[in-house]
Structure 1
Amino acid sequence: MKKTPNRSLAIPAPRRDTRLQLCLLALLIVAAAISLPVAAQGMPVPQPSPGLMPNPAAGKTLFEKNCASCHGANLQGSDKGPPMLSKIYEPSHHGDAAFQLAVKNGSRAHHWKFGDMAPVPGLSPDDVAQITAYVRLEQRKAGIQ
């Protein structure tokens, strides 16, 4: 019976160092990729007045005047803009701050093919909070949590 030499399963030091360096490089790349969207969104989010209690009824009136021409009278969307009664706009995907930023700065098209959304002049952060309260109420009625 022929004996085979005892081969250790250990990785030789030079190869181990190279693997460690590659793992660290991969970790660094992943961390950078995760942090880029956060850094890119460094613009300040407009804040409603402290203590404001947003009112969905007031929000409905503001929505009808400022948003319905694109997002539809019943939040169902139109040929100009997407429906707000979509899982895409659920709070865990587009939080309330996204509404504030979109109204103030506009929003580039990223879920739909309607083109970019222009900023909406004349709406205060309080107005947007009222509109958001209305949209969230209607979303809950539609089963969007």
Structure 2
Amino acid sequence: MPKGFLPAVAIVALAAAALVWFRPAPSATVVDVTVPALSAEARRGAAAFAAHCAACHGANAAGSESGPPLIHPIYEPSHHADGAFHVAVRSGVRAHHWGFGNMPAQPHVSDAEVADIVAYVREVQRANGIR
């Protein structure tokens, strides 16, 4: 083993541990949201969102101390297609944009409710300039 190898490995391991232990804590990322007049599907989605999603993602998907806002450019359709929302609800999703932690699967939300929730989120996104 080359001289200095073990100290180098120890430094890399400590740096990796520091990144995990000292990563930024989730912050309350709450955005201002304008809710437009909604289609019938989106109105059903708003009710389903309030029942199943708002506890983490905030009222009107504006975010909270527990979860990120969905009315945010990160979730625009070209980056997170509608199917990504379906997969997140069915299978959960590993945290990759925010420091809130992984989203667990939500098996109690029906496929029809997920479709309505996506319609709701998309209509509210469009009303807030996210296309």
Q: Please, what TM-score do these two structures have when normalized by structure 2?
A: 0.68
Structure 2 partner of 1:75: 61
Matches within 5 A, 1:19-98: 55-98=41-84
Paired positions, count: 93
Whole-Å separation in 2 of the counterparts to 1:118 and 1:143: 29
Structure 2 partner of 1:138: 124
Name which one, 1 or 2, has greater alpha-carbon Rg.
Answer: 1
Match among 65, 85, 104 for residue 99 of structure 1: 85
CA displacement at 1:121 relative to structure 2: 2.2
| Letter in structure 2 aligned against 1:65 | A
Structure 1 partner of 2:21: none
Identity level (%): 52
Structure 2 stretches lacking a partner, 5+ long: 1-39
Whole-Å separation in 1 of the counterparts to 2:65 and 2:104: 16
Deviates most, 95-104 or 73-82: 73-82
Residue 123 of structure 1 pairs with residue 114 of structure 2? no
What are the superposed Cα offsets for residues 54-82 of structure 1, whole Å, 9 maximum, x if unpaired? 80000000000000000001211011110
Q: Pairwise CA RMSD of aligned residues?
A: 1.4
CA displacement at 1:133 relative to structure 2: 0.1
What are the superposed Cα offsets for residues 112-143 of structure 1, whole Å, 9 maximum, x if unpaired? 00000001121121110000000000000000
| Letter in structure 1 aligned against 2:89 | V
Whole-Å separation in 2 of the counterparts to 1:125 and 1:62: 11
Whole-Å separation in 2 of the counterparts to 1:103 and 1:117: 8
Whole-Å separation in 1 of the counterparts to 2:42 and 2:127: 13
CA displacement at 1:86 relative to structure 2: 0.5
Structure 1 stretches lacking a partner, 5+ long: 1-53
| Letter in structure 1 aligned against 2:66 | K
Whole-Å separation in 2 of the counterparts to 1:74 and 1:60: 8
